[in-house]
Amino acid sequence: MLFNSLIFVIFFSLIVLLYYTVKDWKKQKSILLIGSYLFYAAWNPPFVLLLWFSTVVDWIAAKKIEQSAEKSQKKFWLCVSLVVNLGFLAFFKYGNFALESFTGLLNLAGMSVQWAPLDIILPVGISFYTFQTLSYTIDVYRGDLKPSKSFLDFALYVTFFPQLVAGPIVRAVDFIPQCESPKKANTNQFGWGLYFMTLGLFQKVVLADVFLAPAADAVFGWSKGPLAPLDTWIGTLAFTGQIFFDFAGYSTCAIGAALCLGFVIPDNFRFPYAAMGFSNFWQRWHISLSSWLRDYLYISLGGNRVGAARTAINLMFTMLLGGLWHGASWTFVAWGALHGVYLIIEHSLKSIFPNINMTETRPKRIFVRLITFFFVVISWVFFRSNTFEKVMLSFLAMFGIIKDGAMILPTIEIYKVVIVIFALVMSHWFMRENKIEYFVEKLPKPLVVAFWSFMVFALIITQGGNNAFIYFQF
């Protein structure tokens, strides 16, 4: 069930109606839980059992961890949670990838082997809810969180439909306490919730799908040789904006839907294309994942407390797994590795020049932002390309080594991409230190109403094709 579909509008309206009609808090939570299972079942009903099984396992594991007196027993139950959740993730998401990689290694060794791909259907959102529920058992094991006293609260935490299939990845400490007392959005919260849902859909349907996707799809879908440098750059910039508007659009919708129900879930993006440095970029891009990798992987490996060499290894390992989390393909691993290289170089430069301040003057800030944006754009080539051959051809064209490639983009598409990307970067630079609410509240109300009406009108006239959000595949 897609946010950008009529069936979701009907579904959400019914959920809100039932939720606010019923007065008993336990019944309200039950409505949300049942609605969340129905929301997930709209893709593939049998996978609800997988979601439910993970919920039960982690509920029991956390209870056993809390009750166990011996550390070995606590570790055992933590391992049960890790094996079950990561086992499901490994099988469903990486089964075919592992088989293909193993087959490739055998062929490189001189053995002619060809196995048929496994008939595996990827459960939508499995990467998101797996990391979410794992954070619960890990926090209980570390002593940072007490197990929830209510299975209903925990199950709702795992399956809460606004952010179930594409995040943000919510921590139990941020969500479960909200389940302990009745939640009801006031008029202001409900209004903001509807505004965020409209803004998120506008980002996805109008900006990502209508303005940017055609150029990105044309360039990265081209398979008849190299493209002209201009077309390749425009296609890469188009995807740079598309991936942001698509994913940030989903997160904004999720935050808005939750707010309409009286729940608060954390921001997932903070104007990332205004980042000053790559550490800062990951503090602003997909915040719930980057903070998860930092807290449960990077710091657990020793973080930056174990010397320069080990810090570099920890950074690279974390980013490699971050890349693999995004998709079962070596191009995603390469994307993660490239960001690992960025972070290692940045940390090294800070160690070599500890007193340099690249943000002390406006020209320096502009320079750092431009450099960061440039290298982030470069990295998206790996993320969007299906093969390394496509990556190579793209880079050869982008850096002028191939100059006589095909020109496939109409002039109107080039103008659309340039205008939207320029507006995107400028808006991020202008708003990087504040939240959207801060700027909206400063505007005259008639202007806010006019812009809101424009977004609704644009959504109606574009009549999008109900395209799935990009991060559903992860």
In a domain, 452, yes or no: yes
Whether residue 102 sits in one domain with residue 52:
yes
The verdict on residue 285 lying in a domain is no
Residue of 286, 326, 339, 428 with catalytic role: 326
Residues 102-139: tens digit of each pLDDT: 777 777 777 776 776 777 888 888 999 999 999 999 99
27 and 117 within one domain = yes
Q: Please choose, from the candidates 291, 79, 281, 34, the residue with its C-alpha nearest in 3D space to the C-alpha of residue 171.
A: 291
**pLDDT interval class at 399 (50, 70, 90):** very high
For residues 135 and 266, state if they share a domain.
Answer: no
Instruction: Please give the average per-residue pLDDT across 53-71, as a whole number.
Output: 93
Kindly state whether residue 362 falls inside one of the protein's structural domains.
Answer: yes
pLDDT digits (tens, 9 = 90+) for 284-338: 999 999 999 999 999 999 988 888 899 999 999 999 999 999 988 999 999 999 9
pLDDT number for residue 65: 95
User: Percent of the chain scored above 90 by pLDDT?
Assistant: 73
98: Cβ contacts below 8 Å, ≥ 6 apart = 90
Question: Same domain for 34 and 127?
Answer: yes
The proportion of the chain whose per-residue pLDDT surpasses 70, expressed as a percent, equals: 96
pLDDT (tens digit per residue) in 336-356? 999 999 999 999 998 888 887
- The confidence band for 473, taking pLDDT boundaries of 50, 70 and 90, is low
> What's the mean pLDDT in 205-216?
94
Residue 353 lies in a domain: no
Residue 299 falls within a domain, yes or no? Answer: no
The residue whose two tokens read 């170089």 is: 345
**Confidence band (pLDDT; 50, 70, 90) for 166?**
confident
Q: Are residues 461 and 435 in the same domain?
A: yes
Reply yes or no on whether the pLDDT at 474 is more than 60: no
Instruction: Give the CA angle between residues 426, 424, 437 to the nearest 5°.
Output: 85
Domain boundary among 182, 213, 246: 182
Distance CA 43, CA 124 (A): 8
pLDDT at residue 97 in the model: 80
In a domain, 166, yes or no: yes
Residues 266 and 391 in one domain: yes
Residue 315: inside a domain: no
Question: Domain check: are 424 and 451 in the same one?
Answer: yes
Q: Are residues 53 and 128 in the same domain?
A: yes
Same domain, 372 and 428: yes
pLDDT digits (tens, 9 = 90+) for 168-189: 999 999 999 999 999 999 999 9
Q: Which of 151, 182, 213 is the last residue of a domain?
A: 182
326 is catalytic: yes
Give the lowest-confidence range in 81-90, 104-113, 195-204, 206-215.
104-113
Q: How many CB atoms lie within 10 A of CB 406?
A: 13
* Domain count within the chain: 2
Residue 154 has pLDDT above 90, yes or no: yes
- Position 43 confidence tier, pLDDT thresholds 50, 70, 90: confident
165 and 219 part of one domain: no
Helix, coil or strand: residue 185: coil
Residue 471 has pLDDT above 70, yes or no: no
Alpha-carbon gap, residue 178 to 28, rounded angstroms: 13
pTM reported for the whole predicted model = 0.93
Distance CA 273, CA 275 (A): 5
**Higher confidence at residue 464 or residue 339?**
339
Can you give the pLDDT at residue 96? 81
Average pLDDT for 14-30: 95
Asked whether the predicted pLDDT for residue 435 surpasses 70, the reply is yes
pLDDT confidence of 472, banded at 50, 70, 90?
Answer: low
So what's the pLDDT on residue 189?
94
Residues 101 and 230 in one domain: no
Query: Across the chain, what does the average pLDDT equal?
Result: 91
**Within a domain: 326:** no
Alpha carbon 374 to chain centroid distance?
A: 21
Q: Which residues pair with 406 in a beta bridge?
A: 227
- Say yes or no: 98 and 234 in one domain: no
Which among 161, 182, 203 is the end of a domain?
182
Q: Which pLDDT score, from 0 to 100, does residue 320 have? A: 96
d(CA 260, CA 258): 5
Q: How confident is the model at residue 255 (pLDDT cuts 50, 70, 90)?
A: very high
Q: Which domain holds residue 115?
A: 6-182
pLDDT value at 267 more than 60: yes
